[in-house]
Amino acid sequence: MSQSFSFDATDHAIVEQLRLNGRANNQQIAETLGLTATTVSTRIKRMEDANQLRVVGVSDFSAHGFNVLMKIAIEIDGRRASDVAHELAELPEIFAVHLVTGRYDIDVLVALKEFSELNAFLFDTLSKVRGIRSMTPAVVVDVVKYQFDVAPIEEGQ
């Protein structure tokens, strides 16, 4: 990874085009920005190689039948939090795992199809993970913001 990488106005504009339409090809982006497709391709590759850009597809939870989203704050005891976090990351119901500071050691984000799966997930699946001292689940009641282009990119960085 290049330590001296910095975004310029062209990089920022390319990323903005990808945010607007992740399916846009290099030629479409180039035409919109008044560049060549080669320039767009080279810039995207340079940003990806520097770990400054990752182009991904994001699906909607409810479109895939996941009707229950929740956050679980987890306290760990008798085992390294990072080891527990890696084990939790292997569970298919968990789509995000964060090591955190504060009262809890780990936060996880969970997607389930139905509320009827909740007891089995909490008491059968999670209870088998060694080192979990306590769990504080919080069910999502409304999604106010669901945005994946959250990394702020400022010119000159």
Res 52: pLDDT: 85
pLDDT in tens, 45-77: 999 898 888 877 666 777 777 889 999 999 999
How many other CB atoms are found less than 10 A from the CB of residue 55? 11
CA 136 to chain centre: 21
Could you give the C-alpha distances from 54 to 30, 40, 46, in angstroms and in order? 19, 15, 11
For the chain, the domains span: 9-49, 62-139
Contact present, 17 and 29 (Cβ < 8 Å): yes
Res 67: pLDDT: 84
Instruction: Report how far residue 3's alpha carbon sits from residue 9's, in angstroms, rounded to the nearest whole number.
Output: 19
Averaged confidence pLDDT in the chain: 87
Res 63: pLDDT: 72
CATH class of 62-139: alpha beta
Average pLDDT over residues 4-32: 88
pLDDT in tens, 72-118: 999 999 999 999 999 999 999 999 999 999 999 999 999 999 999 99
Q: Which CATH number, 1.10.10.10, 1.10.490.10, 2.40.170.20, 3.40.50.300, labels domain 9-49?
A: 1.10.10.10
- Between these two residues, 61 and 32, which has the higher pLDDT value? 32
